Structure 1
Amino acid sequence: MTTLNPVDVFRMEADELLACLETTLLDLGEKPQDRALIDTAFRALHTIKGSGAMFGFERVAAFTHDFETAFDLVRQGRVAASVDLVNVALSAKDYIRQLIDDPDGAEPIFGQAILDELGTLVGRATGRAEAAPESAEGPVPERAAEPAPREAAGRETGWRIGLAFAPEVLRNGTNPLALLDDLRDLGPCEVVARLDAVPDLAALDPGALAIGWDVTLRAAVAREAIEDVFLFVQDEMTLSLAQLGGEADAPAPAPAEPAPAQEPVAAAAPVVVPLAPQAASAPPAPPGARAGARRSEERSASTVRVEAERLDELMDRVGELVIAQARLSQLAGLHADAGIKSVAEEIERLSARLRDTTMSIRMVPIGALFGRFRRLVHDLSRDLGKPVEFVTEGEDTELDKTVIERLADPLVHLIRNAIDHGIEDPARRAGSGKGATGRITLSAEHAGAQVRVSVRDDGAGLDAARIRAKAEEKGLVTPGAALSDQQIYQFLFAPGFSTAATISALSGRGVGMDVVKKTIEGLRGTIDITTAPGAGTTVTLRLPLTLAIIEGLLIRVGEGRYVVPLSAVEECVELPEGDRAGRGRDFLNIRGALVPFLRLRALFEAGGEPDPYQKVIIVSVGETRVGLLVDQIIGNHQTVIKSLSKLHADVATFSGATILGDGTAALIIDVGRLVSGGQAEMPREYQEVA
């Protein structure tokens, strides 16, 4: 059994903290007076610094400490959180990520430049002109002196601090020595260990902490600065504080006996802050108390980190189980034994539950992906000089983790194009009667067994004539050819196609939308484009919920069996007798609407005579409705998707294969590509109906 490397655990936790920091800084740019956002950013920095030092990332700890020191001035209210400060803080966050991901590749000169700029901003805001002191990464802003706890002449200032941790604190990943180092950063400290609670060697538990500490901090710092050091371990310790130089300057009482809450506390008496009553004493707890602590810890552990590879392996095993269950059900149907049928039904019920549970484990809210693009929009808006408001909708919509991972790059290209090509500059927007700030809306919603992800802008919309002219120039279409607007818009996804007049850092090479199309088709999804001149453009991605197991409709065409994804099926009708002989393509009247249909026997070159009563499966691809003529509809089928071999990689009509209950294979039809290929062979009048 493999265990996670502690360094890998730190990197995962750091990713979450850095994501939180980025989101908080972006919010802070919009609401610079929000104290809660400032405190959240400071806590994230403090945690990264402490964890980095604990796991040996010394450069991370050093740089973050300097960054945190400057940001502490914002927290004190001495420096305002400006847009420039937020931009520098975002650059610092990027540098911290580089220090974590690739310590050797992170150039110290970049860290120095960031801290230089940060020091300049802070110095300007506080009215200082002197240079910031040097650090491991470069100059840093001077730390502001904390207000003294007492201002009496001739009296010593500082604090007596008593520390007692819960016995399980080491097992939970906390390093008390690192916390003592944080106290030393506040000023000169005298640290004395309490050893009276250490048990005899025979009773010593190496994983349990039985040592406490008494610390004398001789520095004029505020109580909040000390409490912040222990902010993230407050549930695992007891902290007692007493000011030096008071009238009753006595040692802090032992945390094992905190003062009762109902007793009044004299002004000069030591102040005890009980952060965790259950962990008030350092000696090992009795067995009953330990059991209670374990139960409490288990309740708090609501999530468990699992490697993605294990989830993928579990999904593969569930897929094999589903196939075996289908074979068992088929064999049970051939026997009259009621016992075998009962067992087969029970296994079918259990495997269905296991399948649903496993698939739900793989489902991730898409909001985690949406949050990444706030920084992209922020940077593009600044670089292009276009004020842009970024709005997200449907963040709770869940999608398979594999789909979400592969969806990031296409959305980056779509959002970049929307801002670069779609949103006009403020002058043009003013001339069109629009507000100076553009709007990008990223939304997601469930639609049956699919998820629709849309990128919408309120820009100028697509210019079909300009796109067509560029397509003719590149030889993608012959001049004068009859094309609908939707067909013209599809040229945007052609390799090397771009309407940009010049090549820039953002556009002009024609590779972005090509990547979008290939990735979405690889996910068995489709792309729809709707636009209105002067009102903007919407690009909608239709994606399957999962890539592993789908519900399908099992059909027969000739002697071959195929699966049509149930999410694309609208209805099934019988082919009217008068339409049974045709030219390989025709259309039906479905409740007053003309629906063209494709004869799959002709497309798949199936031999033999067609069935006397053929069926038409009405499928939808975006706004298009098309019928698929088949010999027989066998029924619903729980489809475990298997990839095709490399020899069949260029077969666009099928997206994969599945194994049926009798052990034979059935190809899974890619409805979008099948309809696109079939429409290309239709006469013009049929394409217009579709």
Structure 2
Amino acid sequence: MSAQMDDALQTLVVESRELLQNMEEALLLLEQTPDDAEAVNAIFRAAHTIKGSAGLFSLDHVVAFTHVAESVLDRVRDHRLGMSPALGGLLLEVCDQLGRLIDGVAARQAPDDALSARSDAIAARLQTYLDAPSAAPAEPDFSDVDWPDGNDLAPPSAVPVRGNDSVTSGMWHISLRSGPNLLRDGMDPLSILHYLGTFGQIVSLELILGDIPPLSVIDPESCYIGYELSFASETDQASIDGAFDFVREDSVVRLIPPYGPLADYRALFADMPEGRLLLGRMLVRCGSLTEDELAQALETQGRMGPDSVGSSPAPLLGEVLVAQQLVDKPTVDAALERQQQVKATAAGEATLIRVDAAKLDQLINLVGELIIAGAGAQLVARRLKVPDLVERTSVLARLVEDVRDSALTLRMVQIGATFSRFRRVVRDVAAELGKEIQLDIRGGETELDKTVVEKIGDPLTHIVRNALDHGIEPADVRLARGKPRQGRLSLNAYHESGSIVIEVSDDGGGLRKERILQKAVERGLVSEGQALSDKEIFGLVFEPGFSTATQVSNLSGRGVGMDVVKRNILALRGTVDLDSVEGQGTTVRLRLPLTLAIIDGFLIGAGNASYVVPLEQVLECIELPEADKPEQGASYLNLRGEVLPFVRLRDLFDIPGEAPRRENVVVVQYAGERAGLVVDQLFGEFQTVIKPLGKVFSHIRCIGGSTILGSGDVALILDVPGLVRQVTERQPVSRQLPSTLSPV
């Protein structure tokens, strides 16, 4: 396979997966609103596009499987088949199976026997809906129509009834004039013919070769051919039209239905560049027109003007058609308006491009190195004290910051797509457990880094499944407790203090603190009679192997998972906590950084070492005069009448040397808790490129990463959540301040 075709196949895989996701969301929506015609159309379009794309690459196993599903969807769309829960569940299985087939295409693997057998089994179940009596009116009888020799197909089942101005041919007529870039775009005119053959028969074909230049000047990468063909098929116009989706933008395609009006053929003569008589003889040889019908078309066409009509602008051609009473004016106006809408849509789509995620990551890495190099240049400029150089490096730093913000924006995605995937999880798990559960989604427009989104999928899935299994009660239990029959699970996301907060809430039975404590004592996690706060009790749920479930299900209950959730969230420099009220419900709250690559930091110093605090988590900085310093043994300050626990970085990291006479306190906040960091120096804001710590240092507490300063030195990035947690939990502080402690 050529590199160009390989790229085209990768595009098919990516787009098919997106279409399957859209198809699944529309099916889940359709379960709530069975009469939503737009959802049905969206499902049909997704299946139709996947089938058409697969046909262009001769993926016959995908085409054959999708064709059966598309036929069922066509019946639903035409109201000949009603959407039922059973059919909705079957179509969701179709989505899953198509996903497996596309995965095989991506891996360049032919379907094995098991996969093929599964496709056949699902297709057989779909066929039962096609074999069922249809609610549509009886189809017209075309048995007396004289079909061309050699045609063994049945007449089309969805063609219009012949009118007085209709041709006698019961076949579709297709005209194609290939654009010059068709081959460069990875398309092949022969692949289109091959795809058409999967759901019909090409009865006759005439090649258009008049545009081929002499061999001395021919461009081997350009496409010059076209064709006129007659096509016998039972499928609908949308399916045939979809065969040309990938070439329509650069080519000219015309489709005339069986028993089509002569006006369509007259318009075809006007649109195509060939002479009317030459093109007409081709249509006669194809069997699309008889000699008499051609004569009628050419007679009327002759009154319309010379062959140059074919090159007239669309508005002028419309006026001619109206003048000859071939088409009414409202139809022409509607067609022109639709043409303008298509052009506007195409122009809008042209502004969007698909970028490989690896290339985007490389861009972010380069921007990070640019920030470090820019900081070094600024440092040298200040050391040399050359005014012009300082000014130029300041401008450069501002531009680098703008580039950084723009680059990071490219990686920001909305979390709504991740939330929407849980509709299927909730549906399937609720059906398996026999519960009635509604999923509410809020804050789907909240944006965060693509890397963060990819890594929270598994933790969120476990939390959701745990809430469905152990949190929300069965319907009879809920009714006995005075609750609504249907349980409610909520997913919410919002920004807070430079972080994103994701909440998973349920209105189930909540957690029993006494049972958690009992299990913790049995496992030796806490001592008998030890006093713990509610937050500490609920935190025991995240201990490895901890579970209060009395029964083990195939979903949860073995005590494996919540500790993994916490470990994965901590690896993302985030935190997880849990709130619960017995009998009312539980909320699991995840706090995550917006990005894992580059942040605005605040540079501080203690001894000879430098540290960085995320700027969003810094509330204020206070100079601590010598007279107001607390005793060395104290661990809190009086900050304007409020208790502020603090920690000295010198003590925390065992930094040698004497503290300076003037110390500073950096007040930080995370998850509503505040703490103070006593440091030696304040250096100010600093663009921080986050470098992960190696495995050797991954166990160090209160350190979340490292960065490189402009001087080339390494500065450690402080883990503010860990610091706040350590400071506030190390020595619980009474809210009553000693009278001897002066306010700062």
TM bin, normalised by shorter chain, reads 0.7 to 0.9
Q: CA deviation at 1:506?
A: 0.6
**Does the C-alpha gap of structure 1 residues 438 and 173 become closer, same or farther in structure 2, counting only changes over 3 Å?**
farther
Q: CA deviation at 1:208?
A: 3.7
Q: Pick which of 439-448 and 373-382 moved more.
A: 439-448
Residue matched to 1:286:
none
**What is the aligned residue count?**
659
Residue matched to 1:535:
584
- What one-letter code is carried by the residue in structure 2 that aligns with 1:363? M
Residue matched to 2:601:
552
Are the counterparts in 2 of residues 486 and 529 from structure 1 also a CA contact under 8 Å? yes
Residue matched to 1:347:
396
What do the CA deviations read for 1:300-353 (whole angstroms, capped 9, x no partner)?
422222222222222111111111111211221122321111221121112111
**Does the C-alpha gap of structure 1 residues 412 and 219 become closer, same or farther in structure 2, counting only changes over 3 Å?**
closer
SS at match of 1:570: strand
What do the CA deviations read for 1:159-195 (whole angstroms, capped 9, x no partner)?
3333344443444455544444454455443232331
**Does the C-alpha gap of structure 1 residues 673 and 347 become closer, same or farther in structure 2, counting only changes over 3 Å?**
same
Residue matched to 1:522:
571
SS at match of 2:82: coil
Distance 2:175 2:463 in 1: 56
| Pair 1:168-2:181 in alignment | yes
Distance 1:121 1:468 in 2: 55
Residue matched to 1:213:
227
SS at match of 1:451: strand
Q: CA deviation at 1:68?
A: 1.6
Q: CA deviation at 1:671?
A: 1.6
Q: CA deviation at 1:536?
A: 2.1
Long gaps (5+) in structure 1:
129-142, 281-292
Distance 1:319 1:221 in 2: 55
**Does the C-alpha gap of structure 1 residues 220 and 316 become closer, same or farther in structure 2, counting only changes over 3 Å?**
closer
Distance 1:584 1:670 in 2: 24
Distance 2:34 2:210 in 1: 48
Residue matched to 2:268:
253
- What one-letter code is carried by the residue in structure 1 that aligns with 2:12? F
Residue matched to 1:34:
36
Pairs within 5 Å for 1:312-351? 312-351=361-400
SS at match of 1:657: strand
Which among 142, 146, 158 is matched to residue 157 of structure 2? 146
Residue matched to 1:131:
none
**Does the C-alpha gap of structure 1 residues 86 and 179 become closer, same or farther in structure 2, counting only changes over 3 Å?**
farther
Are the counterparts in 1 of residues 601 and 686 from structure 2 also a CA contact under 8 Å? yes
Are the counterparts in 1 of residues 539 and 577 from structure 2 also a CA contact under 8 Å? no
Residue matched to 2:62:
60
SS at match of 1:546: coil
| Pair 1:238-2:253 in alignment | yes
What do the CA deviations read for 1:459-502 (whole angstroms, capped 9, x no partner)?
22222222222222222111211110001111111111112112
Q: CA deviation at 1:359?
A: 1.0
Are the counterparts in 2 of residues 146 and 220 from structure 1 also a CA contact under 8 Å? yes
Residue matched to 2:208:
195
Pairs within 5 Å for 1:209-608? 209-218=223-232, 223=237, 226-227=240-241, 229-230=243-244, 234-235=248-249, 236-241=251-256, 243-244=258-259, 253-254=268-269, 255-256=271-272, 257=310, 260-262=317-319, 263-264=321-322, 300-575=349-624, 577=626, 580-608=629-657
Q: Pick which of 160-169 and 258-267 moved more.
A: 258-267
What do the CA deviations read for 1:278-320 (whole angstroms, capped 9, x no partner)?
xx9xxxxxxxxxxxx9999887422222222222222111111
| Pair 1:658-2:707 in alignment | yes
**Does the C-alpha gap of structure 1 residues 469 and 252 become closer, same or farther in structure 2, counting only changes over 3 Å?**
same
**Largest Rg, 1 or 2:** 2
Q: CA deviation at 1:147?
A: 3.3
What do the CA deviations read for 1:442-463 (whole angstroms, capped 9, x no partner)?
1222224211122122222222
Q: CA deviation at 1:225?
A: 5.3
- What one-letter code is carried by the residue in structure 1 that aligns with 2:597? A
Q: CA deviation at 1:205?
A: 3.7
Distance 2:398 2:441 in 1: 38
Are the counterparts in 2 of residues 585 and 599 from structure 1 also a CA contact under 8 Å? no
Q: CA deviation at 1:80?
A: 0.9
Q: What is the alpha-carbon root mean square deviation over aligned residues?
A: 3.6
Pairs within 5 Å for 1:95-134? 95-102=97-104, 103=109, 104=111, 107-123=115-131, 126=134
Distance 2:40 2:115 in 1: 28
Q: Pick which of 450-459 and 570-579 moved more.
A: 570-579
Distance 1:320 1:641 in 2: 11
What do the CA deviations read for 1:479-536 (whole angstroms, capped 9, x no partner)?
2111100011111111111121121111012222112111111111112323333332
Residue matched to 2:141:
none
Distance 2:705 2:263 in 1: 80
**Does the C-alpha gap of structure 1 residues 125 and 634 become closer, same or farther in structure 2, counting only changes over 3 Å?**
farther
**Does the C-alpha gap of structure 1 residues 452 and 242 become closer, same or farther in structure 2, counting only changes over 3 Å?**
closer
Q: CA deviation at 1:551?
A: 1.4
Which among 145, 148, 157 is matched to residue 170 of structure 2? 157
Q: CA deviation at 1:224?
A: 5.2
Q: Pick which of 201-210 and 427-436 moved more.
A: 201-210
**Does the C-alpha gap of structure 1 residues 490 and 686 become closer, same or farther in structure 2, counting only changes over 3 Å?**
farther
**Does the C-alpha gap of structure 1 residues 199 and 294 become closer, same or farther in structure 2, counting only changes over 3 Å?**
farther
Q: CA deviation at 1:127?
A: 9.2
Are the counterparts in 1 of residues 630 and 637 from structure 2 also a CA contact under 8 Å? no
Q: CA deviation at 1:665?
A: 1.1
Residue matched to 2:288:
none
Are the counterparts in 2 of residues 528 and 622 from structure 1 also a CA contact under 8 Å? no
Are the counterparts in 2 of residues 584 and 598 from structure 1 also a CA contact under 8 Å? no
**Does the C-alpha gap of structure 1 residues 513 and 383 become closer, same or farther in structure 2, counting only changes over 3 Å?**
same
Distance 2:29 2:245 in 1: 23
Are the counterparts in 2 of residues 149 and 222 from structure 1 also a CA contact under 8 Å? no
**Does the C-alpha gap of structure 1 residues 273 and 414 become closer, same or farther in structure 2, counting only changes over 3 Å?**
farther
| Pair 1:77-2:93 in alignment | no
Question: What TM-score do the two structures reach when normalised by structure 2?
Answer: 0.81
| Pair 1:11-2:13 in alignment | yes
Residue matched to 1:24:
26
Q: CA deviation at 1:58?
A: 2.7
- What one-letter code is carried by the residue in structure 1 that aligns with 2:646? F
Are the counterparts in 2 of residues 237 and 276 from structure 1 also a CA contact under 8 Å? no
Distance 1:207 1:82 in 2: 50
**Does the C-alpha gap of structure 1 residues 645 and 185 become closer, same or farther in structure 2, counting only changes over 3 Å?**
closer
Are the counterparts in 1 of residues 603 and 611 from structure 2 also a CA contact under 8 Å? yes
- What one-letter code is carried by the residue in structure 1 that aligns with 2:229? V
SS at match of 1:63: helix
Are the counterparts in 1 of residues 578 and 586 from structure 2 also a CA contact under 8 Å? yes
Q: Pick which of 55-64 and 480-489 moved more.
A: 55-64
- What one-letter code is carried by the residue in structure 1 that aligns with 2:357? A
SS at match of 1:168: coil
SS at match of 2:49: helix
- What one-letter code is carried by the residue in structure 1 that aligns with 2:582? P
Are the counterparts in 2 of residues 46 and 68 from structure 1 also a CA contact under 8 Å? yes
